[in-house]
Amino acid sequence: MGIALKKILVITGGSRGIGAATARLGAASGYAVCVNYRHNEVAAMAVVEAITSAGGEAIAVPGDVGSEADVVRLFEKVDEKLGPVTALVNNAGILEAQMRVEKMDAARLGRVVTANVIGSFLCAREAIRRMSTRHGGKGGAIVNVSSIASKLGAPNEYVDYAAAKGAIDSFTIGLAKEVAAEGIRVNAVRPGVIYTEIHASGGEPDRVERVKSSVPMQRGGQADEVARAILWLLSDEASYSTGALLDVAGGR
């Protein structure tokens, strides 16, 4: 019997919401976890503390996924502290104040595309350089956190964000094909309305309560319900799935 490969999971935006739930569940599933975050060190350290006090292995690493230098440093830190990444969750994402497209300026559009799209590309690049059999790696899995907004379009709220998530869907499909023969699976989850703090950035902290009646299941989702789908896609249970977009959206 060979020695089992150490499972090393990088989660961008792992300090809060869906990322934090994925970090905790990932650690419970046997991954050594890197919790990346942008500003909220207290929240990131609380996730690390919860994992380590339960006997797991975790580190917190700050870095803006939209900064190429930060992303390079993030993966170097993981190499140094945990080992080469075997699983990546591109979870970090932002939305901005609800408004119609005719009011959006280029600065806002740049921030939304940089954090949601360019960040995911840069992190995937660093992961592939370590995972791909083409580069001497042992394979791995990537899950991109898209949104059901890519399908619904988010009119009058944030079409820019929805379009960025549409780019994540195409990125998932294309990258999955590009690295399929190199031991790497790439999939996405598309969450619906989930109880997290992201809605406050749109100016409506209780947005889930307002829109939940339009969800066929008549309720918002919990971060853990998304985390379970992410962990399944990362796992060997999903060994023949790549390029899949898994809706976790209560039927929307």
Q: Which residues are catalytic?
A: 161
- DSSP labels for 106-172? HHHHHHHHIIIIIHHHHHHHHHHHHH-GGGT---EEEEEE--THHHH--TTT-HHHHHHHHHHHHHH
Applying the rule CB under 6 A, the residues between 184 and 223 that interact with ligand NAP are 191, 193-194, 196-198
- Nearer to ligand NAP by Cβ, of 18 and 132: the residue is 18
DSSP state of 31: -
Q: Which range binds ligand NAP by CB under 6 A, 11-19, 48-56, 99-107, 232-240?
A: 11-19
Contact 61, 78 (CB under 8 A): yes
**Least CB distance to ligand NAP at residue 10 (A):** 11
Structure tokens at 91: 């979870």
Q: Which residues contact 245 (CB under 8 A, 6 or more apart)?
A: 146, 169, 172, 173, 187, 188, 189, 190
- Nearer to ligand NAP by Cβ, of 132 and 186: the residue is 186
Size of the site for ligand NAP (CB under 6 A): 30
Applying the rule CB under 6 A, the residues between 58 and 77 that interact with ligand NAP are 64-66
**Least CB distance to ligand NAP at residue 79 (A):** 19
Q: Which range binds ligand NAP by CB under 6 A, 30-38, 53-61, 99-107, 171-179?
A: 30-38
Read off the amino acid at residue 30: G
- Nearer to ligand NAP by Cβ, of 39 and 177: the residue is 39
Strand partners for 184: 140
Please report where in the chains the tokens 């990258």 appear, as a residue. 175
Q: Which range binds ligand NAP by CB under 6 A, 17-25, 48-56, 209-217, 232-240?
A: 17-25
**Least CB distance to ligand NAP at residue 208 (A):** 7
**Measured at the alpha carbon of residue 33, what is the angle toward residues 27 and 38, in degrees to the nearest 5?**
125
Strand partners for 248: 191
DSSP state of 214: G
Residue selected from 39, 100, 134, 138 as contacting ligand NAP according to rule CB under 6 A: 39
Residue selected from 82, 87, 89, 92 as contacting ligand NAP according to rule CB under 6 A: 92
43 binds ligand NAP (CB under 6 A): yes
The residues that touch ligand NAP, with contacts defined as CB under 6 A, are 12-13, 15-19, 36-40, 43, 64-66, 91-94, 115, 119, 145, 147, 191, 193-194, 196-198
